[in-house]
Amino acid sequence: MTSSPRTVMRIYFHLQEPDEDLYEQLLALLEGITPGVQPHSADWSADVDLTGALRYWDRDAKGLAAVIRLRALALYGVQSSAGIGPSRMIAAMAAALSPPGSVTVVGNSPYDIAAFLRPQRAAALPGIGPATARSLSRYGIYSIGDIADTPLATLQRLVGIAAGRQAHDRSHGRDDRLVVPQAAPRSACAEHRFDTDELDPDQHHQAVLGLVDELGARMRSENSVCCAITLTVRYADRTHTTRTRTLAEPTAHSPALADTGLALFASLGLQRARVRAISVRAERLQPAETATHQLTLDPTDERTRDLEAAIDRARARYGYRVAGPASSYQRAN
């Protein structure tokens, strides 16, 4: 007996500002439709397995998505966009192409999958970052269709064995990952929206530094630490890139967060990118007293932490903007 094809939706909730409580209410709305909900709190999205819900609600995928979007808007005033496809990867890619208020549906036939994937640029394939895409372009590989047509052995020579296998499978639409229901992990987020699409890398770096400093101060005031940092960069064409890195140790120390945030940004390999917004999320928060700190013989580390504590005391008394690292403030012209 053959199993019915999967139907997966990636839905993005376009929150006006970070709001953990509202996001959890929206997840509860999804769980009222189907128990197969996997949250992605880094960008206020979720993967939803609609396979069983379609028959239960007696609707097609686009109709059920319309019900969900209408409820989110009517009950919580939150606009959303979604992508629907036969796998998590295709649903996520379809959602990335959907402007707020719309849904993109990709059929589950091999023709539908190929027609959706092949024309897209190589960098749109999950796992192919800007740097890898530029490397592939030097060999005449510009689109996902080009990747699909490249022999596996050739891809593996160009980008590595594991990455080549992954790119080969995904370019043909193969993605067996299941939607795994789970609770949204506790996290904290800060976002910077540029007044206009920003091209200046210095402004990008300054925004990242300001965001991690804000998160560090917030966590220290709440006596908590985070285990990982997620960076999301949103571009002028409505696409976005998200990267996550686990910290060497749970911390709320701003310099450590800044090193990780800047390393994540550098890993994107952006060159003259038109950036609309940058957000940084502190993931897997836990009480500070449960974390351990590796002692160091470097006196600079102790002085930095003492200075950080003094800045926190000044901010608590006079306001957040009274003090902070100079690199996170706008330079005077």
Quote the CA–CA distance of 13 and 27 in Å, as a whole number: 10
Quote the CA–CA distance of 126 and 251 in Å, as a whole number: 29
Task: Please give the chain's pLDDT, 333 residues, in tens.
Answer: 445 689 999 999 998 877 778 988 999 999 999 999 998 876 789 999 999 999 999 999 999 999 999 999 999 999 999 999 999 999 999 999 999 999 999 999 999 999 999 999 999 998 887 888 888 999 999 999 999 999 999 999 998 898 899 999 999 999 999 998 876 667 788 899 999 999 998 999 999 999 998 898 888 888 888 888 999 998 988 788 888 888 888 888 888 899 999 999 998 888 778 999 999 988 888 887 765 555 445 556 566 666 666 666 766 666 655 555 555 545 444
- The topology under which CATH files domain 1-108 is Alpha-Beta Plaits (3.30.70)
Q: Select 120-184's CATH number: 3.50.50.60, 1.10.150.20, 1.10.10.10, 1.20.1050.10.
A: 1.10.150.20
pLDDT of the residue at 66: 95
Which residues, including other chains, have CB under 8 Å from residue 223's CB and lie 6 or more apart?
Answer: 287, 288, 289
| Residue 119: closest CA among 146, 98, 138, 101 | 146
Residue 276 is encoded by which pair of tokens?
Answer: 């609309």
DSSP alpha helices (H): ranges in the chain?
20-31, 51-57, 61-76, 88-96, 110-117, 130-137, 144-149, 152-159, 161-171, 201-221, 254-267, 299-318
pLDDT of the residue at 3: 54
pLDDT of the residue at 185: 62
CB 86 within 8 A of CB 7: yes
Quote the CA–CA distance of 203 and 209 in Å, as a whole number: 10
| Residue 269: closest CA among 133, 116, 85, 77 | 133
Which residues, including other chains, have CB under 8 Å from residue 229's CB and lie 6 or more apart?
Answer: 212, 244, 245, 247, 257, 260, 261, 264, 280, 281, 282, 283
Pinpoint the residues of the chain covered by CATH 1.10.150.20: 120-184
pLDDT of the residue at 217: 86
Chain-centre distance for alpha carbon 214: 19
For the structural domain made of 188-293, what CATH number should be given? 3.30.1490.100
pLDDT of the residue at 1: 40
Quote the CA–CA distance of 241 and 302 in Å, as a whole number: 35
Task: Tell me which residue has tokens 């091999």.
Answer: 110
Pinpoint the residues of the chain covered by CATH 3.30.1490.100: 188-293
Quote the CA–CA distance of 259 and 245 in Å, as a whole number: 11
How far CA 297 is from CA of 259, 302, 303, 305, in Å, comes to 20, 9, 12, 14
pLDDT of the residue at 72: 96
pLDDT of the residue at 227: 87
pLDDT of the residue at 333: 44
Contacts 24+ apart (CB under 8 A), 14-23: 14/44, 14/78, 14/79, 14/80, 14/81, 14/100, 15/44, 15/78, 17/191, 18/189, 18/190, 18/191, 18/279, 20/184, 20/186, 20/187, 20/188, 20/189, 22/76, 22/78, 23/184
CB 268 within 8 A of CB 243: yes
Answer positive or negative: Cα dihedral of 165, 171, 176, 181. Answer: positive
Pinpoint the residues of the chain covered by CATH 3.30.70.270: 1-108
| Residue 217: closest CA among 330, 302, 327, 311 | 311
pLDDT of the residue at 224: 87
